[in-house]
Structure 1
Amino acid sequence: MPSSLANLVSKCTVFRDHKSHVTTLKLSVFDIPMLSCQYMQKGVSLKSPPFCFDDLVGLLKQSLSTNLSHFPPLASRLMTDPDGHVHIDCNDAGIDFLVVKSPALSVNDILCLGDVPDCVMEFFTFDGTLSYTG
């Protein structure tokens, strides 16, 4: 990520706040083709946070942790069993949470109709990564 566009403020792993009883989930024949698609990532852009930035980051982490408890596969990893079947290993591995600030860009620079500007993709660590390698 070019330092002129974005500065990494912090990086941590967010885990579920409650462990799941789900251990593995076998992918269906409809899920398998998605492994060759680009890895999906999400972000939040704020023009002006509603309150203290550090408090907001803490709340976002807690909210994510709570949601991961309801959706165990999101905090999991892919595995292949000895028979060649692909499963989601619900191992509580967690997900990366990055805080990035960009002094060179404003929210207005990236909010536009149509495609997301290329500079925004640099904020995501797995940009261009296929799902099975992500």
Structure 2
Amino acid sequence: MSDHLNLIKLSVGTDGVEDLAAWQATPHAQTADGLPRHVTRMWPKREAELLQGGSIYWVIKGIVQCRQRILRLDEVTGQDGIRRCAIVLDPQVIRTNQALRRPFQGWRYLTATDAPADLSESRSTDDALPAELSAALADIGVL
């Protein structure tokens, strides 16, 4: 049994995996050392488990489509003076088997046993299905 924990997060406004990667390549979405980050209000209470090999699984258009390994958590202070958590990510985006997910606020913990498997090396460059088709197939249990 794995001793790491993952996060799952909606990628709001993202049209696909390539769009997520393009956003993360902008200076606004990066740390000072050039790594992609996602800033959130809440600091994960289970930080140690996340940092033992955990990933953030991205829900794009209602479907888990990819993940990125969590490298560290940095403290950042917003312009409003409020302390926030920057989840610093490995720049490699790993496509996963698609899994339907209903909308939710913020992020959630995701156990390793509940996380979608990575796509095989031979399928990692497959074109993504249209979101509507993926959702319909996932809804009937095909994906």
Report if TM-score (shorter chain) is over 0.5: no
TM-score by length of 2: 0.25
Between structure 1 and structure 2, the one with the greater Rg is: 1
Q: Which has the higher helix share?
A: 1
Which of structures 1 and 2 has the larger relative contact order (alpha carbons within 8 angstroms, sep 6+)? Answer: 1
Q: Which has the higher strand share?
A: 2
